């Protein structure tokens, strides 16, 4: 009973992070299920079955709050579904352990780029509601993100959200809302692949149920949160989360990172806090500028 309660709380926290920042549910939940004794395939399958409900509610919440760019959802989600199905059906035969450190380094680099870019100098097009990216960029991104998500028990958000935010051409809350909504297509496809490849063997449905319940409760709050956070603050928050989560992945395959993990986590956390504070300060300064009598916005409103 205590384990189920903990899993429910993890499902709530994971969905709150995932719905607000576009990543984190699969990685958090899968890690706990592995600790509980499930095999990697069963853990990934359990998370995806739970996500069928959380993604649906989260996507609907984002849509109602105006966070969804539907062309981006389809252009990213359909290739993602193809990649997820392939990853799920081949998980028992393929290993992503060798690729994990390489991807972690790339994601850390992108995370640092996003963190500094949104905190120090947000891109001019950051307020665009529609993504200008075409299929040449989105189709390969969706395929890779879907495959990694299915084989690793999570990864759709870190891969897709990271790549879209690093381009700096779409408003962060629309990136997060669209990636979160498109994940439903990925989850459905991955779940079908697991049913074909695994059946229901090794899956503990009680774990699936409590993860789902916790996520369903958190989904509307997360969608509301992402619609209220300033773009620069949200972007820097996502960047720091990417760095922190992938340091953990890198530590599993790098003795140096593992040996200095405490110092690295403390250093990155302090830098993350500093950059987020810088984003908040810049946002407040921009609000003061808009309300200043000398500003063009105030002058136009007065006329």
pLDDT value for 297:
44
In-domain check, residue 298: no
- Residue 241's pLDDT is 78
Count of CB atoms within 10 A of residue 39's CB?
Answer: 16
Computed over every residue of the chain, the mean pLDDT equals: 79
Residue carrying structure tokens 């998370």 = 47
Tens digit of each residue's pLDDT (9 = 90 or more) over 189-236:
999 998 887 777 667 788 889 888 988 888 788 778 777 777 678 778
- Domain containing residue 123: 2-288
Average the pLDDT over 287-298 and give the result: 55
In this structure, is residue 303 part of a structural domain?
A: no
CA 124/CA 171 separation, integer angstroms: 10
pLDDT on residue 182: 94
Which of 299 and 1 is assigned the larger pLDDT? 1
Q: How far apart are alpha carbons 16 and 220 in whole angstroms?
A: 9
Q: What is the length of the chain?
A: 303
Residue 90 lies in a domain: yes
Helices of type H across the chain: 2-21, 25-35, 40-64, 70-90, 99-120, 135-152, 156-167, 172-198, 205-228, 231-251, 255-259, 261-291, 296-302
Please tell me which of 125-134, 257-266, 284-293 the model is most confident about, judged by mean pLDDT: 257-266
pLDDT, residue 296, reads 47
Token duo for residue 219: 């989904």
In a domain, 228, yes or no: yes
Confidence at residue 139, expressed as pLDDT on a 0 to 100 scale: 94
The total domain count for the chain is: 1
Do the domain assignments include residue 294? no
Answer whether residue 194 is part of any domain. Answer: yes
Return the structure tokens found at 303. 């006329």
Confirm whether 79 is domain-assigned. yes
**Distance between CA atoms of 65 and 224, rounded to whole angstroms?**
7
Q: What is the pLDDT of residue 81?
A: 97
Token code pair at residue 199 = 């059946």
- Asked whether residue 197 is domain-assigned, the answer is yes
Q: What is the pLDDT of residue 301?
A: 45
């Amino acid at each position: 009973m205590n384990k189920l309660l903990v899993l429910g709380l993890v499902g709530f926290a994971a969905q709150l992070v995932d719905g607000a920042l576009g990543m984190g549910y699969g990685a958090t939940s899968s890690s706990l299920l592995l600790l509980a004794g499930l095999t990697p395939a069963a853990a990934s399958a359990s998370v995806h079955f739970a996500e069928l409900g959380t993604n649906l509610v989260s996507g609907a919440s984002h849509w109602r709050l105006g966070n969804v760019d539907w062309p981006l959802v389809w252009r990213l989600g359909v290739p993602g579904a193809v990649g997820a199905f392939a990853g799920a059906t081949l998980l028992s035969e393929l290993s992503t352990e060798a690729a994990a450190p390489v991807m972690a380094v790339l994601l850390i680099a992108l995370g640092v780029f996003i963190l500094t870019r949104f905190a120090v100098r947000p891109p001019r097009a950051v307020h665009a509601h529609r993504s200008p990216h075409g299929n040449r960029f989105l189709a390969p991104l969706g395929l890779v993100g879907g495959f990694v998500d299915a084989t690793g028990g999570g990864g759709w958000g870190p891969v897709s959200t990271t790549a879209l935010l690093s381009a700096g051409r779409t408003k962060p809350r629309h990136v997060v809302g669209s990636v979160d909504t498109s994940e439903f297509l990925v989850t459905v496809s991955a779940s079908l692949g697991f049913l074909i490849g695994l059946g229901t063997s090794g899956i503990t449905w009680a774990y699936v149920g409590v993860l789902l319940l916790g996520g369903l409760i958190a989904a509307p709050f997360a969608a509301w949160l992402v619609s209220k956070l300033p773009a620069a603050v949200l972007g820097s928050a996502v960047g720091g989360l990417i760095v922190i989560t992938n340091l953990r992945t890198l530590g599993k395959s790098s003795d140096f990172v593992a040996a200095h993990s405490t110092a690295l986590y403390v250093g990155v956390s302090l830098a993350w806090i500093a950059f987020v504070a810088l984003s908040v300060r810049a946002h407040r300064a921009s609000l003061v500028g808009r309300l200043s009598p000398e500003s063009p916005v105030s002058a136009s409103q007065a006329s």
